[in-house]
A and B are shown apart, each in its own frame.
Chain A
């Protein structure tokens, strides 16, 4: 499979760019930045990368209801004298709308950029790129082992729950009954997993896990020229944008 331009990028560079954009959106506090700049650009990048469908599904499902709630709460309940529209206890205010727009814009910057990074990056690659910049082995282990452990334990928990049901432990009914079903399902799973840790530790040590030698990597990952330059360019652009917003005489306020 051919990789798209975003997928091809060095993982660490992508992450840095995402964080730069996020920080910028907090600092400038202009809702247009999120809605008119970052959001469309991210969707376009997803399209170019061939990930539009799964990406937009993730973004929309993360945003729609969440943003709706924020708008409702902020727009109607922000104390203000500038009421545009009123019905019973609901008071729609200009300040409220403005606050909701700014808040959701910042959230959307983080959401859309990070989701694009995660959508287009293999997490093992991300870890390797972080390890190469000095992140300890053990940190990568915790992350990657968790990502494999979660689906595995989830599968096992479902098997146990089936078995519990077969043995007559109620998993439906009133809340007390359901709460009581929780412990016998979870505890055998936890206890057996923890009992295995001794042998797992030995397994890792048998593979030189705590060796004092510096690691080498099978994944041949290296930052291209563009991967090194792009974060700096974006940083420059962000700084210029902030200057334009904050320095009187040049830009806005």
Chain B
């Protein structure tokens, strides 16, 4: 079998991966204390469901890994967040403001539950990509243990980040032309809503 997704979804995935990259890049150009590197993944989740979102998330980090292999294990974080967001989207979460907010909490929890063990176990507490480790070091010097330090550091950066990313997707879905939206697996969901 050559095809696992529809062609529309398949073409969306590389665009989403690029969006993940550009989001992260823009965040650093604008000197925002956030990653914003998951907008593409969440967007795929919203219009195409969990599996394509997990692929988009996972491949994002594999490609990051081509130049810095330490990013590769964090693919799990993207995959977990994509799964949560995609599952929620299938249940219609992105149709309402309230459920989008709850989804962002789910994504945030998924990110924490995966990123913290990876950083602590694989990299001895130093985030593979560098970000966040200065904050970790700060918490360490205040006398906290390694796990708590990594977790507190992640808490700060992740919370605002995931909340903002999820809501950007909420608004993006509403800005897409209907004729395009209906070609995606979950797209029709948002069209009926606006009628």
Contacts and interface: CB of A to CB of B under 8 A. Distances in A.
Interface of A: 58, 62, 65-66, 69-70, 72-74, 77, 89, 99-100, 103, 107, 110-111, 114-115, 118, 123, 136-138, 141-143, 145-150, 152-154, 157, 161, 171, 175, 178-179, 181-183, 185-187, 189-191, 193-195, 197-198, 200-201, 204-205, 209-212
B17 interface: yes
Interface of B: 1-5, 7-8, 10-15, 17-19, 21-23, 25-27, 29-33, 36, 39, 43, 55, 59-60, 62-63, 65-70, 72, 122-126, 128, 130, 133, 136-137, 140-141, 143, 146, 164, 168, 171-172, 175-177, 179-180, 183
Contacts of A161: 26, 29
Given A153-B18, A197-B11, A136 B4 contact: yes
A196 B87 CA distance: 26
A115 B65 CA distance: 9
A42 B143 CA distance: 39
B11 A145 contact: yes
B45 to A, nearest CB: 14
Contacts of A171: 30
A73 B137 contact: yes
A114 B130 contact: no
Contact of A204 (B7, B25, B67): B7
B10 A147 contact: no
B8 A193 contact: no
Contact of A114 (B17, B69, B183): B69
A114 B63 CA distance: 12
B19 A65 contact: no
